[in-house]
Chain A
């Protein structure tokens, strides 16, 4: 992160922070919107919305190719986003940041890009708590190459079972890819510890940081990440924008997934050479408007201070765990210690199915997510097909959590025989 934020500046920025989010002013089913689905996508502050609008009103042009003022402005905005997105996670340099559609695209790019370095029988280690985005690209890779997929199991308490690491990481382990913060359990994984074991075995470490970035300080060096991916939309930025950040040398080694304009050096009818990274991974016209609109989200996070953002979410999780514990029979997944959790809580009510729960809560204006949250293997491990998830952001309050609890009580009464 750039310049330090003083405590007073931070306190001033926090005042009325929710007012900066226009969507939070609306009502849903005649109730104040209580938005508890930030882990799916965060709401956008007015500065992000107006930046996207003014990009189209003033600077709309394609990047890197026009020699005119608008094209230069668009290119500058796009490259500024690359720089800022990298700084947020401690990227070695702007050129180590590939701009993608989303975090999923970034993970696919890594799997495709490293495919030529992998052989049948090589091992890739994942975890049982991965989002489908960090499972399916590797399953596809395994189908194509015969690499073997292994998984770090989880304990009943929702933590990675690191005791199993020695038997899971070996001389054939080429890559370890794991989630930083689980989108269901909330667990903040000890990524650095796993990375150290991976590096000792000579394996690369890929970190899916989609739920962590923007919600707590994240530094890829401290995590031991060789590659880190995240998306803008979960940290208050626009949709359609993600990042693949890599340590030096890796992008050079990776093959591009898509060919086309912008990613080339020289093209002949029968052959072509690639541009230098990161451009060789960015074929075609990118989402420049989204790139132009992301820095204002980062400005907001910086003014609040990411340490303070983390404290805020930790307090909310602590309140949520306490509040949900008063509801008899409700099963809350993941660690009980708020310090070990990101800003989300998934639960299962034996009396009310998550879909019914979400519908009833929506009638009270409370937006939650119900389903398997793109983590079917994890839900199988938990022994349920679906859970209800409440997730928090900088605009969330304890009142929001109390509204959730009230909604759950109402749903129970509604369905009770």
Chain B
């Protein structure tokens, strides 16, 4: 068993988020709801945001997915709660670029997300890590009138 490669993919912090996912609660009010789908495997995620003006007061995450996408959604809930929409957008954009190998991880503080950058060694799993984040970027943080009616789709995500 090639433990080194495995442990880079499933770092302890990822396993912890997978076993105890954050954001699995009900919001007081749901201002934004958006869904994402990874058609190659059928994984799905739904994000709900509670907003206070421009600020994300609370995040709820629901869905069915692998350890990588579950951990990524959990980290998302932890990381963007309390941020303004532009701040959340900046992290999501940066994370996307990092996962596509276009940016280096330490330019923006990614917090626990940094642990997910090991997924880059497993190219087919990158979509799992990105599913919650592109759902956030392409649907949840999009103006209501431009929000897609269908779930965001990882296949359409330019990678």
Contact = CB atoms under 8 A, between A and B. Distances in A.
Given A371-B40, A410-B1, A353 B66 contact: yes
Contact of B2 (A354, A363, A385): A363
A359 B15 contact: no
Contacts of B5: 29, 363
Interface string A341-372: 00000000000011110011001100000111
A225 B5 CA distance: 49
Interface of A: 29-30, 353-356, 359-360, 363-364, 370-372, 376, 379, 385-386, 410, 414-415, 417
Nearest to B6: A363
Interface stretch (B41-49, B51-59, B82-90): B41-49
A29 B43 contact: no
Contacts of B128: 355
B6 A353 contact: no
Q: Which 3 A-B residue pairings sit nearest by Cβ, starting from the closest?
A: A385-B42, A355-B66, A353-B66
B19 interface: yes
A30 B66 CA distance: 25
Contacts of B40: 371
A264 to B, nearest CB: 37
B41 A415 contact: no
Contacts of B64: 385
A355 B122 CA distance: 12
Given A353-B65, A385-B64, A359 B122 contact: yes
A363 B19 CA distance: 22
Contacts of B18: 415
Contact of B42 (A356, A363, A379, A410): A379
B134 interface: no
16 contacts: A29-B5, A30-B2, A353-B65, A353-B70, A355-B43, A355-B66, A355-B67, A356-B67, A359-B6, A363-B2, A363-B5, A371-B42, A372-B42, A379-B42, A385-B43, A386-B41
Contacts of B2: 29-30, 363
Contacts, number: 53
Interface centre among A354, A356, A371 (most CB of B within 10 A): A356
Interface residues of B, number: 23
Interface centre among B2, B18, B19, B128 (most CB of A within 10 A): B2
Nearest to A417: B19
Contacts of A354: 41, 66
Interface centre among A354, A355, A386, A415 (most CB of B within 10 A): A355
Given A359-B122, A363-B1, A385-B64, A370 B41 contact: yes
Given A354-B66, A371-B41, A379-B42, 16 more contacts: A29-B2, A29-B5, A30-B2, A353-B66, A353-B70, A356-B10, A356-B66, A356-B68, A359-B9, A359-B122, A363-B1, A364-B1, A386-B43, A410-B1, A415-B15, A415-B67
A385 B65 CA distance: 8
Contacts of A359: 6, 9, 122, 125
B6 A355 contact: no
Nearest to B7: A414
A353 B42 contact: no
A355 B1 contact: no
B67 A353 contact: yes
A311 to B, nearest CB: 34
Contacts of B68: 355-356
A402 to B, nearest CB: 16
A393 to B, nearest CB: 23
Contacts of A363: 1-2, 5-6
Given A359-B9, A360-B6, A363-B6, A372 B1 contact: no
Contacts of B44: 385
A371 B124 CA distance: 12
A354 B64 CA distance: 11
B64 to A, nearest CB: 5
Contact of A414 (B10, B41, B65): B10
A355 B41 contact: yes
Contacts of A370: 41
Nearest to B41: A371
Contacts of B19: 417
B30 to A, nearest CB: 23
A371 B64 CA distance: 12
B159 to A, nearest CB: 17
A23 B52 CA distance: 58
A385 B1 CA distance: 28
B115 to A, nearest CB: 15
A372 B6 contact: no
Contacts of A30: 2
Contacts of A379: 42
A155 B146 CA distance: 43
